[in-house]
Structure 1
Amino acid sequence: MPRGPRLRLPLAALAALVLAGCTGPLAVEAGPEATDPACAELLAALPRTVADAQARQTSGAGTAAWGEPAVLLRCGVTPTGPTSRECVSVEASDGSVVDWVLLASDDSGAILTTYGRRPAVEVEVPATYGPATLSVLPDVGPAVAALPVEAACLSS
């Protein structure tokens, strides 16, 4: 019986295909308000790269990730109320401004949550992205800036 043409792949290409088939979406826990329609709009507006890291597929509703180790974004988290924690206004790449509250920062990285926006958005940045963990915020800023603003950081 005649055979059709055979496809020959280099071993490295074959290994990449096999490994790609074995890895699934990154498991990221969804926020309690992740099904808010504004989260779907936010996800559609997010960039393909953040801090030069490529987007990754995630399994949690209202979530996104980039790179390895992953920068994680969760939409629909519990909003931050008035706080004495550090609140910074970060200019996005399109010139819009988003207020972020620094929830945690240590040797493993930083966790920031939007202030005064609903639904609230949380970004977790591993320390491997350098000492300026805020550097990823301008990349996601234009999408986040589209969320409704209810309050702003107070100047000191």
Structure 2
Amino acid sequence: MNVSRRLRLPLGPPALALLIACAGCSSTDDGGTAAVPSPGAGVTELCRNLDERLPREVDGLDRRDPKPSSPLTAGWGDPAIILRCGVPRPAKMNDPEADGVTVNGVGWLLEKRTDGSFRFTTTLRKAYVEVTIPEQRTGDGVSPLTDFAVPVKKSIPEGIA
């Protein structure tokens, strides 16, 4: 896995218009839904610690947690950037050709999904943290990940989950 590769995702005019329109979204909008992971007790504790350190804003978007409410999930904006902590190890991590990036000292596996969104999963940490960036928010590349670097480094020790 190449974890030093930098990625800049393109932002076309339709996505830019949607991003501008969403900038004025009400803070009463909910963060949608997200499947809650079910890790063991040790990983759950690490994820609870992460939840306490997560920022109120990510990439300028207010926190709006998804339903059902859980310390293992968090969201920002609408459409939401979704974080899930304690997810299973992605099968793609077995692929030596898998793409990855390092953002402020945290390694992430990169997966482009069929719906145009991107899923990033931490690498070499005691718990897997997954961040999904919807297609409408991919114009800023990996910049949302910069807001997660410090909380992940302080909450999820380096190692193999």
TM-score between the two structures when normalised by the length of structure 2:
0.69
C-alpha spacing 1:25/1:135, structure 2 compared with 1 (3 Å): closer
The aligned counterpart of 2:150 is 142
Larger Rg over CA atoms? 1
C-alpha spacing 1:27/1:107, structure 2 compared with 1 (3 Å): closer
Check conservation: 1:75, 1:119, Cα contact below 8 A. Answer: yes
Give the percent of matched residue pairs that are identical in Structure 1 and Structure 2.
29
Distance 2:85 2:40 in 1: 6
- Shifted more, 123-132 versus 62-71: the winner is 123-132
Check conservation: 1:127, 1:133, Cα contact below 8 A. Answer: no
Matching residue's letter, 2:117: G
Check conservation: 1:31, 1:77, Cα contact below 8 A. Answer: yes
Check conservation: 1:79, 1:115, Cα contact below 8 A. Answer: no
Matching residue's letter, 1:148: P
Q: Does residue 111 of the first structure (1) align with residue 123 of the second (2)? A: no
Q: Could you give the per-residue CA deviations for residues 37-67 of structure 1, whole angstroms, max 9, x where no partner exists?
A: 0100001100000011100133253000000
* 4+ residue segments displaced more than 6 Å: none
The aligned counterpart of 1:65 is 75
- Report the CA distance between 1:148 and its aligned residue: 1.1
Distance 1:103 1:46 in 2: 23
Matches within 5 A, 1:1-156: 26-33=32-39, 36-58=44-66, 59-61=68-70, 62-80=72-90, 81-84=93-96, 85-91=98-104, 97-105=105-113, 108-146=116-154, 147-150=156-159
TM-score between the two structures when normalised by the length of structure 1:
0.71
Aligned residues: 125
- Report the CA distance between 1:114 and its aligned residue: 0.5
Larger strand percent: 1
C-alpha spacing 1:24/1:55, structure 2 compared with 1 (3 Å): closer
- Report the CA distance between 1:141 and its aligned residue: 1.2
Q: Which runs of 5+ in 1 are unaligned?
A: 1-19, 92-96, 152-156
**How big is the alpha-carbon RMSD for the aligned residues of Structure 1 and Structure 2?**
2.2
Q: Could you give the per-residue CA deviations for residues 86-118 of structure 1, whole angstroms, max 9, x where no partner exists?
A: 121111xxxxx1000012245622011001112
Larger helix percent: 2
- Shifted more, 118-127 versus 26-35: the winner is 26-35
